[in-house]
Structure 1
């Protein structure tokens, strides 16, 4: 796997490239310590046996730079950044995988760009919902390991898997100098604002003609499965899989299921590309 950067609107963006074959773009979520490595470490390598995988850290996350001026929550900026990564591939057809907030970005990308041949979402946002305590914990930066474990417990059903390796993958991001203050400013205010920013209008959903596979954990206290259920009902070519004994972090909690479904889905959708 190679780590590379490109400049986007004056901010350095880090992305990872691994594998060969049809191209898959992977976009991570917005929780504490979220990054390409934090979200996708268990699935990028296996996917790379069949695909060229490009996974990008959104601005303000992972190894990408921070936005120099507020507002630090900038949905439109992240959508433009996703479009820039799509441009970078130089491909006529790609698959996209988006998690949580980035599931919404992936859906909007598909609605406006025919280069997205198919997309898969995990625990996606995209419809209005009422924030819970678990949602609010997701958007507040932990200041120590105990608070980090508490926040992650709202994202993972079987908390026994929150082991040393998982924590070490997130702690360098969370505990970087000044990052906690930056993150808390990013999600300062009413969570309803961020939920509304990620919600797609009915006409946007109707315009998505590509095949879409939505995975959602049945036991997701912060980002309810009702969003994926509603989206699947409106999408022309939407498929839905609800996973029992699974919360929000599907690629980590149910990596083998994720990989089996992704290979089947993209194997059909990107055949010949």
Structure 2
């Protein structure tokens, strides 16, 4: 790929431990990894469809499907989901011989990015987190949006109607932006038999459920205050999945954390406000990236 070719490649799979991780990439320059959210049918390319080519003008952009999603292996260690995701991303960087990368993470991917900065700080440059999961989650009841997300595979099981409600009522501010084509694509992906049998994002259960819940709340991890990586937290002011109050929680604990609250925006900032988001990313990472 030449420096003038910002188109996304067809993608390939690498072995990381006992899993296959699928990823695509575009561009050259400092490495920037985009980690997608955990909604039903999510994937790297679909979550960042409005960002990749713009960011590839300045960076080598790597976009994996997280374990449990897309074309990656479906197994996730439910005893410590965020830690397992972080290990997978750290292993992917090692497999690609990338010693250090900037990370962008939305929701579930934001939690994976933050956990990697805690577990393997040497692998992380700057962090950009959009409505990340795991911020104050044990200190209040789940939002309606998060309950909708977590209940997708439970009850009477997944359906197109349940997915449409989640995407239109909770994921974005302007429901009309979610077309039938988007719903159909996500629904098809969400019905992968391996995923239906073993959903990657679920409520912790069993004997270790309480320990898992606490492990998944970063505000209860004393290491959070030691994450000194320059961090930009971007949160939609109308996020109905993860509460915008989480932005202040992170800023209060992380010593180098800037905040941006996007008005009239839901949980999918990088998609709803793509031009704003792309500009913020370029400005924050800067020419010295």
Instruction: Using structure 2 for the length normalisation, give the TM-score.
Output: 0.84
Correspondence for 2:42 among 34, 52, 74: 34
C-alpha deviation, 1:189, in angstroms: 4.7
| Cα distance in structure 2, aligned partners of 1:250 and 1:194 | 28
SS at match of 2:85: helix
Q: How does 1:15-94 map to 2 (within 5 A)?
A: 15-67=23-75, 71=78, 74-94=81-101
C-alpha deviation, 1:177, in angstroms: 3.0
Correspondence for 2:233 among 211, 214, 222: 214
Q: What does residue 102 of structure 1 align with?
A: 109
| Cα distance in structure 2, aligned partners of 1:189 and 1:71 | 7
Instruction: Using structure 1 for the length normalisation, give the TM-score.
Output: 0.89
Question: Contact between 2:160 and 2:184, CA under 8 Å: does it hold in 1?
Answer: no
Correspondence for 1:198 among 190, 213, 216: 216
Q: What does residue 263 of structure 2 align with?
A: 244
| Cα distance in structure 2, aligned partners of 1:266 and 1:214 | 13
Q: What does residue 12 of structure 1 align with?
A: 20
C-alpha deviation, 1:38, in angstroms: 2.3
In structure 2, list runs of 5 or more residues that go unmatched: 1-7
Question: Contact between 1:95 and 1:117, CA under 8 Å: does it hold in 2?
Answer: yes
In structure 1, list runs of 5 or more residues that go unmatched: none
Shift in alpha-carbon separation, 1:211–1:194, aligned structure 2, 3 A: same
SS at match of 1:157: coil
| Cα distance in structure 2, aligned partners of 1:239 and 1:30 | 24
C-alpha deviation, 1:193, in angstroms: 7.0
CA RMSD across the alignment: 2.3
| Cα distance in structure 1, aligned partners of 2:211 and 2:235 | 22
Shift in alpha-carbon separation, 1:20–1:187, aligned structure 2, 3 A: same
Tell me if 1:148 matches 2:163: yes
Shift in alpha-carbon separation, 1:49–1:164, aligned structure 2, 3 A: farther
Correspondence for 1:137 among 148, 164, 171: 148
